[in-house]
Amino acid sequence: MKTKRELNYLGLIFILIATLSSIYSCQKNDSSEITADVIISSSSVNNPVIIDTIVQQDYPLHIITGQKEFDWENAEFIPLPSTQNPIPVPWSDRARRNFSEDIRYDYKKEDGWLMYYCSFSDELNPPVKTFMLYNKYRGILRFYYFFTGTGIENVSDYNIFSNDIMSMGSHASMSPILNFAHQNIIDVNKNSTHCVTIEPEILSDSTWFAWEYELAFDKDIYNQDPNTFLLNIGYGMLKKIALSINGIQLDDLNARIRFTDGTYQYGDSYNGNANIIIYGKNDINQMSNILSGSDLTLINQIYDQQSFNNILNGSVNYNYLGEIQWNANLAITTQPNGVGLPGGGQSFVISGANNYVMQGLGSFYNKPLGIFYLNRKPKVSYSKINSGNHQFQYELNVNSVEYIINPSVLDFADIKNISQNLVATENKELIENNSRAKLYIGQKLLSNIELTIQGVRVSFDVVPKNGSKPVHIVKVFQADIETSK
């Protein structure tokens, strides 16, 4: 049995422990509330490193008999055999469309568009009704697909249109061509070979669909042919069980959503990062209920003020045309009985390769796709200073950012205003509380707390030599962090 003195002694110990615990708890709570105080600086001298050892090579086109490059700018109808019912061009008032109004009239040659591939002809009648335009200033390949609905019952029961692009052949895993489309923060040491986009909306037949992918330049394209390197597109219809973006439950959404660093198949469940594809003001209005007020303000500034500072992934020209990809959280589950549409699994050649050996429809363009890529991962130095309020220092090694420019682009445009900066956030995630995290962008960052370096943001203008509007391109690449002792 303990004496009174012993009990008093134990009581003092308990009080001391409780007091220390309270102090520790307060200190912990106070430290968790510390926010970043970041000093940002960038050099006004910018001498980018451009790899100029790539020798351009032009292979002859391979166009089969009956394949025709129709005048899409002035045509009212798609070329078809006389026995077929006429199909108006996708942007016509006569056409039924299931794509963004922001890209409806974005197809002009003066803005960089050219005919890449076409299965329509007054001599040919392939089962797949599609043509592709390529934008040589933006590095964008756009697909127009006419869904006839033939043989598919109850089309209106499906409420998600799914499309994907895949690289095929022995060279596919060694090519960065799909990295811009698929990866949120681009890793030059990891190549994507598959990218999936969904469009949550009620489907209908006799309707035009349109979607696009921004492609990266592959410096090894000249050594390829259809036996080693092809692209494949597929499309299907899904039935949604549940869909939410940024925690908001949705029935439908007239916008495109891109899975990042992930794929999706019929019946899967997915909960993770995604990108919303935004083409302009109409798309912004469609998404006003799922984006935070701060995100909407930033996105509107892009189109209203040509303010590109908050873009992490985009290709927009100064005529308010083009796309940006905006970070979001996606949760989706679909039924396993999805339906593939005619044309699923359709392969086509990649221009710039030696496609003269191709069997079947060829491309009307023989230059490489994409505008640029980086030669290696950029390097960032990290050090901790033992004095002062800003102890954590991050600095970009500017000379480690090595650009590989598609040489064919330099035939018709100049690359100007190249800029490269660190992108950092307080925490790991780019999405916090259903909003884009605050970004710290600069070549050198001094902070009172440790930051997460998301990557190196590179941007530049593609300035057409014919006087057309310049295009502003932005991408973020993963970096190697080197600790300074």
246-257: burial string, b at 16+ Cβ within 10 Å, e else: beeeeeebbbbb
Asked whether the predicted pLDDT for residue 312 surpasses 50, the reply is yes
Query: End-to-end alpha-carbon separation of the chain, Å?
Result: 59
Report which of residues 345 and 411 the model is more confident about: 411
Are 347 and 396 found together in one domain?
A: no
Are 224 and 325 found together in one domain?
A: yes
Q: Does residue 45 sit within a domain?
A: yes
Alpha carbon distances (Å) from 253 to 338, 354, 418, 431, 445: 19, 41, 36, 20, 39
Residue 146 burial (CB < 10 Å; 0-12/13-18/19+)?
buried
Asked whether the predicted pLDDT for residue 360 surpasses 90, the reply is no
274 within 8 A of 250, measured Cβ to Cβ: no
Q: Does residue 90 sit within a domain?
A: no
What average pLDDT does the structure give for the chain? 87
Asked whether the predicted pLDDT for residue 4 surpasses 80, the reply is no
State residue 362's pLDDT score.
86
Q: Is 380 helix (H, G, I), strand (E, B) or coil?
A: strand
Are 301 and 425 found together in one domain?
A: no
pLDDT in tens, 139-180: 999 999 998 876 777 888 888 888 999 999 999 999 999 999
Report which of residues 25 and 57 the model is more confident about: 57
323 within 8 A of 215, measured Cβ to Cβ: no
Asked whether the predicted pLDDT for residue 7 surpasses 80, the reply is no
Q: Is 370 helix (H, G, I), strand (E, B) or coil?
A: coil
Q: Does residue 11 sit within a domain?
A: no
Are 40 and 139 found together in one domain?
A: no
Are 328 and 397 found together in one domain?
A: no
442 within 8 A of 422, measured Cβ to Cβ: yes
pLDDT in tens, 370-408: 999 999 999 999 999 887 889 999 999 999 999 999 999
Q: Does residue 287 sit within a domain?
A: yes
Domain-ending residue, one of 307, 325, 357: 357
Range of the domain at 312: 101-357
The pLDDT confidence band at residue 305, using thresholds 50, 70 and 90, is confident
Residue 33 neighbours by CB under 8 Å, 6+ apart: none
Are 177 and 114 found together in one domain?
A: yes
133 within 8 A of 215, measured Cβ to Cβ: no
What's the CA gap between 87 and 90, in Å, rounded? Answer: 9
Domain-ending residue, one of 357, 384, 416: 357
The residue with tokens 């709570």 is 29
pLDDT in tens, 466-480: 999 999 999 999 999
pLDDT in tens, 8-23: 444 444 444 444 444 4
Alpha carbon distances (Å) from 242 to 163, 336, 338, 391, 412: 19, 13, 15, 46, 47
If we measure between CA atoms, which residue out of 131, 93, 117, 98 comes closest to residue 209?
A: 98
Q: Does residue 75 sit within a domain?
A: no
Q: Does residue 15 sit within a domain?
A: no
pLDDT in tens, 61-99: 888 887 888 899 999 999 988 888 899 999 999 999 999
Are 377 and 268 found together in one domain?
A: no
Structure tokens at 118: 């076409």
Q: Does residue 79 sit within a domain?
A: no
Are 278 and 302 found together in one domain?
A: yes
Domain-ending residue, one of 298, 330, 357: 357
Asked whether the predicted pLDDT for residue 28 surpasses 80, the reply is no
Are 344 and 384 found together in one domain?
A: no
Q: Is 147 helix (H, G, I), strand (E, B) or coil?
A: strand
Are 262 and 402 found together in one domain?
A: no
Are 350 and 385 found together in one domain?
A: no
Q: Does residue 2 sit within a domain?
A: no
Are 424 and 468 found together in one domain?
A: yes
Number of domains in the chain: 2
